[in-house]
Structure 1
Amino acid sequence: MTIDRRLFIAGLAASALTALPAFAQDTSLSGEITLAAYSGVFQDNYTKAVVEPFMKRFPNIRVNYYPAQSSAQMLGTLRAQKGSPQVDVALLDVSIARVATDEELFVPLEAANVPNLASLHDLATIEGVAGRGVTFDHLTLIYNTKAVSPAPTSWNDLWNPRFKGKFVMPGVPDIQGTALTVIANAMAGGGDPARGLDKGFARMVELAPLVQSWDPKPDAYTLVINGTADVGVGWNARSQFYKDQSKGLLDVVLPKEGSVFQINTINLVAGSKNKKAAEAFIDYALGPEAQKAFTETMFYAPTNKKAEIGKEALDRTAAGVMERMIRVDWIALAKLRDKLTEQWRRQVLPASR
């Protein structure tokens, strides 16, 4: 039997391509870096979607994951190590990243060493923050699918008297309470949140009598799943996680009025002993491959405009409706934190009783 030479050569080429790795390894850099980032389910998913693929791409670089429960905890660690940093890269909330930048714990990222900076959304660059946005999360409305039908479509649905005593959410000073107040302010025709949220607070005063708890324990997701509450608010990434965990008993809505982003930033620690390896990791984390992988794993919206997200994941994030997001200057709001907390205590909490 004879074999057509062209088919034979084509077959060999196809086999060779199949045998090649999906990416080219880079052995030009080596070293060991420590990444400080969130613990729990975030750590599990970020390790699988970003850290492990990075180490396959750069086999001579080892990434140690230092887990922390909060951005504030990471800031404390960075302050304690300022004289001799043990952390090279820190992933934390934008407002805390601003504090760390002001204290010169972070250094600015350089486009020459982090080329993926050029492909980021404008919202990923925050004035006064040395790093860049690495994930976008947004506030969502969550509900128990057995108790609530039809599904809510608007933030205004939270003000429905039918939910009296069956609505839970963290209040101010928790950022979720602030975020819903910002949304309520926008719906009421309020102006720039950094100039005040009086119209938003007036709406929250109207909502207060319906609220079962401003301090849901263990959390709003669990209370909605177990039927203690019918509706609540939460961050999209965790809401989507619990939707899957509960097999759809909890469902997630991005209301028609839009929402607000919470931004996590990735930062280069000042005095890193492994600067080149750290910059390589930051560039990879901001690149389309890592952004796509983490979005499709945990449903944070990508900050890289070139990330090609699959439709299923795209429909479960705000990536496809960026124009509906209400712009919030979290740095400016952080300066009003004490004032907003006092306004909450004087106006909203008394209306709950």
Structure 2
Amino acid sequence: MADQGKSLERIYQRGVSRREFLRRSAALGISSAAALSFLAACDPGGTSVASPSTVGGGKPAGADGPVKLSFFVYVGANQGVVPREVVAEYTKANPNVTIELYEGTNAETYPKMVAARKTTPDQPIVNFGFVNADANAKGDVDDLWESLDPANVPTLSNVLDNFKRKDNKGIAWGMVGIGLMYNTDNVKAAPTSWLDFWDPRFKGRLALSNGNHYLSGLVTTTRANGGKESDPAAIDKTIKLMSDKAKEGQIRLFFLSNDQVKQPMIRGEVWLSGWFNSSVDIWANQEKGPFGYAAPKEGQIAFTLYHHVVKGSTPAQKYHAEKIINMMNDKKWLSRYCNLTHSIPVAKDIELDKALADQEAFKTKNIEGAIQLDWPTIASKNAEWNERFNKEVVAFVK
């Protein structure tokens, strides 16, 4: 009986119609009487799973029954504090909802999300969560994102106009500046340009991302030399330069995760990299590490951050995910999140600590002068660039 109950619960959470619920139950050898009894217990009002979803903010079928969600959050640097607080408050008010936090980086997790979309499209590895500008653009190409229902996410109206998403496919909540992170113990004169990656004083001390080309040096070097991501000749020129520099020993290492760049810089093995102002500030001022941040003269990168619901989630999962996303974007919670993580909000009336608002990355000139990358081009070219980057650059770093 316990196994039957678990099987019925799994079917129920898919948000299928009543007829489909009974059909799948029968296919598992479960009697109609047992299936109907389960439905009655989950939905005593008798509406049961009559339709796959309910538009306009109404509760979809199954939303009051057991619902399990996977919530992707960033790892480290206070990133999980507010999500845990919001989850605790939400599940207290909605005890039928169980939420598992999936912690990591978009670089590590996004490929797994795409793989799940291809192999088990109705079982995403995460239902909703944090998505950066790079993964956001890739998800547009891969058709990964649900449109958010404004009735469930009224905070959509608080987003600054130039950050609003077409068809409400996700909600922009903030941005991070990407600039030059350097080791303050070994670098006394702060770097000033994206081209400092190739300055001889950083030979053998440079760390670059392997796969995220807004951090790999490919895009920033191209921009600093007057090119664009959409210009194949400019990209070719940059890859040639990087290949030559790799052969000369300019690059110390490549990284995929936060710790893979943070720890070598603490140890003094790495002196320069591109990184996020929010993490650099926390590592320097709260953890007292040897980290400095400089906004390059060409401009720091405006790295917009979003909350998304992933396609393949059931209507019930989508409903609760939207409700939690709305909480995350409420003034109270978003202000707290931005202050804790040192993120730049892109919503109206968010209160920041003065010490944070006065920082370099938060200055109006550095926000207005930030480089707005061509994220769709970066997303569409990513696989091609990765192949070339690995063969022509990474292969020559010992």
Task: Give the CA deviation at 1:297.
Answer: 0.9
Call closer, same or farther: CA 1:253–1:277 in 2, change over 3 Å.
same
Distance in 2, matches of 1:291 and 1:98, equals: 23
Is the counterpart of residue 293 in structure 1 residue 336 in structure 2? yes
Residues 70 and 125 in structure 2, CA contact (< 8 A), matched pair in contact too: no
What residue is the counterpart of 1:13 in the other structure? Answer: none
TM-score by length of 1: 0.74
Where 2:219 maps in the other structure, the secondary structure is helix
What residue is the counterpart of 1:6 in the other structure? Answer: none
Alpha-carbon displacement from aligned partner over 1:164-183 (angstroms, at most 9, x marks no partner): 12222224x333445x3222
Is the counterpart of residue 155 in structure 1 residue 200 in structure 2? no
Distance in 2, matches of 1:202 and 1:317, equals: 33
What residue is the counterpart of 2:128 in the other structure? Answer: 89
Task: Give the CA deviation at 1:234.
Answer: 2.2
Is the counterpart of residue 49 in structure 1 residue 49 in structure 2? no
What residue is the counterpart of 2:220 in the other structure? Answer: 183
Residues 89 and 268 in structure 1, CA contact (< 8 A), matched pair in contact too: yes
Task: Give the CA deviation at 1:67.
Answer: 1.0
Residues 141 and 254 in structure 1, CA contact (< 8 A), matched pair in contact too: yes
Task: Give the CA deviation at 1:337.
Answer: 1.6
Distance in 2, matches of 1:336 and 1:126, equals: 22
Where 1:116 maps in the other structure, the secondary structure is helix
Superposed, which structure 2 residues align to 1:60-209 within 5 Å?
Answer: 60-61=93-94, 64-69=99-104, 70-76=109-115, 82-83=121-122, 88-97=127-136, 106-122=145-161, 124-126=163-165, 130-171=169-210, 173-178=211-216, 180-191=217-228, 193-196=229-232, 197-198=235-236, 200-201=238-239, 204=242, 207-208=245-246, 209=248
What residue is the counterpart of 1:327 in the other structure? Answer: 372
Where 1:334 maps in the other structure, the secondary structure is helix
What residue is the counterpart of 2:276 in the other structure? Answer: 235
Residues 183 and 200 in structure 1, CA contact (< 8 A), matched pair in contact too: no
Distance in 1, matches of 2:137 and 2:201, equals: 41
Alpha-carbon displacement from aligned partner over 1:184-204 (angstroms, at most 9, x marks no partner): 22221114x234434544654
Distance in 2, matches of 1:41 and 1:51, equals: 13
Task: Give the CA deviation at 1:96.
Answer: 4.1
Distance in 2, matches of 1:336 and 1:274, equals: 32
Residues 132 and 306 in structure 2, CA contact (< 8 A), matched pair in contact too: yes
- Read off the aligned partner of 2:264 and give its amino acid letter: L
Superposed, which structure 2 residues align to 1:334-353 within 5 Å?
Answer: 334-345=379-390, 348=393
Residues 296 and 310 in structure 1, CA contact (< 8 A), matched pair in contact too: yes
Distance in 1, matches of 2:214 and 2:305, equals: 15
Gap regions ≥5 residues in structure 1: 1-28
Task: Give the CA deviation at 1:73.
Answer: 3.0
Distance in 1, matches of 2:135 and 2:236, equals: 25
Distance in 2, matches of 1:262 and 1:310, equals: 21
Call closer, same or farther: CA 1:343–1:38 in 2, change over 3 Å.
same
Distance in 1, matches of 2:361 and 2:189, equals: 22
Distance in 2, matches of 1:240 and 1:228, equals: 20
Call closer, same or farther: CA 1:76–1:153 in 2, change over 3 Å.
same
Distance in 2, matches of 1:342 and 1:84, equals: 29
- Read off the aligned partner of 1:258 and give its amino acid letter: G
* Range 121-130 or range 280-289, more displaced: 121-130
* Range 301-310 or range 210-219, more displaced: 210-219
- Read off the aligned partner of 1:137 and give its amino acid letter: V
Call closer, same or farther: CA 1:87–1:182 in 2, change over 3 Å.
closer
Aligned length: 321
Task: Give the CA deviation at 1:272.
Answer: 3.2
What residue is the counterpart of 1:271 in the other structure? Answer: 314
- Read off the aligned partner of 1:268 and give its amino acid letter: V
Distance in 1, matches of 2:262 and 2:362, equals: 22
Alpha-carbon displacement from aligned partner over 1:130-162 (angstroms, at most 9, x marks no partner): 212234233221222121112223333333222
Is the counterpart of residue 222 in structure 1 residue 296 in structure 2? no
Residues 139 and 234 in structure 1, CA contact (< 8 A), matched pair in contact too: yes
Distance in 1, matches of 2:396 and 2:124, equals: 48
